[in-house]
Amino acid sequence: MITVLAGGVGAARFLRGLVTIVDPATITAVVNTGDDSLINGLRVSPDLDTVTYTVAGAIDAERGWGLGDESWRVMESLGRYASVRPDASDAANTWFNLGDRDLATHLYRTARLHEGATLSAVTDEIRRAWGLRIGLVPMTDDRFETMIEIVEESGFRTVPFQEYFVGLRHGVPVRSIGFAGAESARPNFLPLVNESEAIVIAPSNPLVSIGPIRALAGVDDSLAANRERVVAISPIIAGAAIKGPADRMLGELGMEASAVGVARLYAPVCGTLVIDAQDAHLASAVEAEGVRCIVTDTIMSTPGVAGDLARVTLAAVLEKGR
């Protein structure tokens, strides 16, 4: 059994590689739900859908999110209502662009949740509908909201993650990150961590993708207890994130935007860090953080590279375990 702690795009690409080198039925992805939002009354789970669509080979490769062969009729039509909603309303929200094909997923999820199904149950139904053989588990079925305190000219303001990430295009400085609901939300996956031969922390944003998963009660303790079987892949390469604001966020929050900074963040819960060949010179600094360091190509430009990365990543901990 292999457990992968996952955010969005980076994790999804890693999983697409992983399924090519081990039996998908042995893999379970535990996915961040801190970004989940109510958009136009619909329950949107961005990371779950990115993983599902990517592993299914249905993601829009160019855009990096949503489905290929997409159209935008509903969103275009929704624009009509933006002019009549009251100022305080978020209805006819068109900054969060949902494609027509994608909308079907949100409609299905929302209707099932209305019927009383858990997010876990609905996620598994959606997984099966897309023919995925890996397991897919939302990190929690409970309310959990990643909140971003942003810096504006007029002062500080705290907004839900998607408003920062999509609405503001993560173009504003971050002052702090909070997790509403973290105290009471129950993790769905602690037994998995204890039973897995390898626990992979995917190359996702350590603060807002992996951070929420780690913020759930008992998760860091479970990972620490299994630290020798935990391996992470640095999402920071040559000081920058491939995608998204991880590098800026680390800097703004006083951390080092480098593989070494990632090692420092993960050291309590993770025995091994995989870093990119471009960062080979940082290997000893990583190891100085008390983390074993593996150097390889981590830019998953093709599923082949992702497969190679998955092989190297797994080998690092499976060898240790034997």
**Residues within the interface to a copy of itself (CB under 8 A):** 38, 40-42, 71, 73-75, 77-78, 80-81, 83-86, 89-93, 100-105, 107-108, 110-115, 117, 125-126, 128-130
Minimum CB distance to a copy of itself smaller for 56 or for 299: 56
Kind of pairing, strands 230-233 and 272-276? parallel
Minimum CB distance to a copy of itself smaller for 30 or for 98: 98
How many Cα neighbours within 13 Å face the side chain of 85? 14
- Residue 62: CB minimum distance to a copy of itself, A: 19
Contact 236, 247 (CB under 8 A): yes
Minimum CB distance to a copy of itself smaller for 85 or for 186: 85
Residue 98, CA distances (Å) to 161, 166, 179, 231 in order: 17, 12, 25, 34
Minimum CB distance to a copy of itself smaller for 92 or for 147: 92
Q: Which residue has the tokens 């920058």?
A: 240
- Residue 99: CB minimum distance to a copy of itself, A: 8
- Residue 96: CB minimum distance to a copy of itself, A: 12
DSSP 73-102: HHHHHHHHHHTTS-TT--TT--SS---HHH
- Residue 23: CB minimum distance to a copy of itself, A: 22
Contact 93, 41 (CB under 8 A): no
* Closest CA relative to residue 280, chosen from 237, 235, 240: 237
- Residue 92: CB minimum distance to a copy of itself, A: 5
Minimum CB distance to a copy of itself smaller for 90 or for 149: 90
